[in-house]
Amino acid sequence: MQAIAFLGTGNMGGALARAACRGTDPASVLLTNRTYSKAAALAEELGCTAVHSNCEAVAQARILMLGVKPQMMAGLLDEIKPVIKASLARGEEKIVVSMAAGLPISFYLSALDCPELPFLRIMPNTPAAVGQGMTLVSSCNATAEALDEFEALFHAAGRFDRISEAQMDAAGVVAGCTPAFACLFMEALADGGVRAGLTRRQAQEYAAQAVLGTAALLLESGKHPGVLKDEVCSPGGSTIAGVEMLEAGSFRYAAMEAVTAAVKRSMELGKPKE
């Protein structure tokens, strides 16, 4: 039996597939996608195997990574349910993992009619593709050994944190949506650099490396972000002048409101359609 199958190879599924292929033998990784050619191209790149059918992948794999969008999940579960139930009836072990926003674990166990199925709900982010991800994990029916195995398999993705499912919407937004927010910030910084006379390549590289380095400094030092900010702001200097403009533009308030809006939307995605 293959180690792991990815059902859906979009941006997030593809990022985790890359991490898995760095953390285990690519020959043990299966890929499917609604558009087969996309799975085939990624499989060729990673040295793993693309298959035409979700059910074929489910029958062969022990760990199933559900990588479709929330609105497509019910259809996927209905498709693979008979294969999972047949495998369990034969005594085969299955661990199902979903990376879809909003949908609670209870939704999956009910849809699959497998209340005892080991299930992990995760919220990864796209930096997992380069080993700098933050993946949040909540689980049901999964042993500590299964969680350890999952994290070992994806160790090349970056950091992990095990949280309660009640925290998933908020934590998933801060970890999962922040790459998009950060890209907006870096793009704006680069635009400012271009306006000031830098080339686009220079401005983008400087902004990205500064954000990357500051994030590493924050994690490694354990200092509060405000302390690190103060360490850069010399009295009457250029940095504090820039900070003043960000404050005038309600930068921090806008960031807080962005998180609030994204959490609200994540919770809406988890509600059943009327």
Each residue's pLDDT tens digit, 203-239: 999 999 999 999 999 999 999 999 999 999 999 999 9
Predicted local confidence at residue 23, as pLDDT? 85
Would residue 238 count as lying in a domain?
Answer: yes
| Other residues' Cβ atoms within 10 Å of the Cβ of residue 47 | 11
Residues 90, 44 share a domain = yes
Look at the chain and report how many structural domains it folds into.
2
Question: Of 164, 193, 223, which residue constitutes the final position of a domain?
Answer: 164
Residues 151, 120 share a domain = yes
**Residue pLDDT, tens place only, 69-90:** 888 999 999 999 999 999 999 9
Residues 254, 145 share a domain = no
Q: In terms of Cα–Cα distance, which of 198, 203, 227, 201 is closest to 214?
A: 227
Cα atoms found within 13 Å of the Cα of residue 50, Cβ hemisphere only: 19
Average pLDDT, the chain: 94
Query: Tokens 């793009």 belong to which residue?
Result: 187
Q: In terms of Cα–Cα distance, which of 93, 90, 107, 87 is closest to 145?
A: 93
Domain that holds residue 98: 2-164
Q: Is 65 annotated as a binding residue?
A: no
Q: Is 9 annotated as a binding residue?
A: yes
Q: Is 125 annotated as a binding residue?
A: no
Predicted local confidence at residue 245, as pLDDT? 97
Whether residue 272 has pLDDT greater than 80: no
Whether residue 114 has pLDDT greater than 60: yes
Residues 159, 79 share a domain = yes
Q: Which pair of structure tokens corresponds to residue 107?
A: 């939704």
Q: Is 88 annotated as a binding residue?
A: no
Predicted local confidence at residue 201, as pLDDT? 98
| Model confidence band, residue 3 (pLDDT cutoffs 50, 70, 90) | confident
Question: Of 105, 138, 164, which residue constitutes the final position of a domain?
Answer: 164
Residues 194, 116 share a domain = no
Residues 154, 202 share a domain = no
Residues 107, 20 share a domain = yes
**Residue pLDDT, tens place only, 245-268:** 999 999 999 999 999 999 999 888
β-sheet with 29-32: strand ranges across: 49-50, 29-32, 2-7, 61-66, 95-98, 119-123, 133-140, 158-162
Residues 264, 158 share a domain = no
**Residue pLDDT, tens place only, 127-179:** 988 899 999 999 999 999 999 999 999 999 999 999 999 999 999 999 999 99
Question: Of 131, 164, 197, which residue constitutes the final position of a domain?
Answer: 164
185: CATH: 1.10.3730.10
Q: Is 198 annotated as a binding residue?
A: no
Q: Is 33 annotated as a binding residue?
A: no
Q: Is 192 annotated as a binding residue?
A: no
- Looking at the whole model, is its pTM more than 0.85? yes
Residues 66, 189 share a domain = no
CA separation for the pair 114, 226 (Å, rounded): 47
Would residue 171 count as lying in a domain?
Answer: no
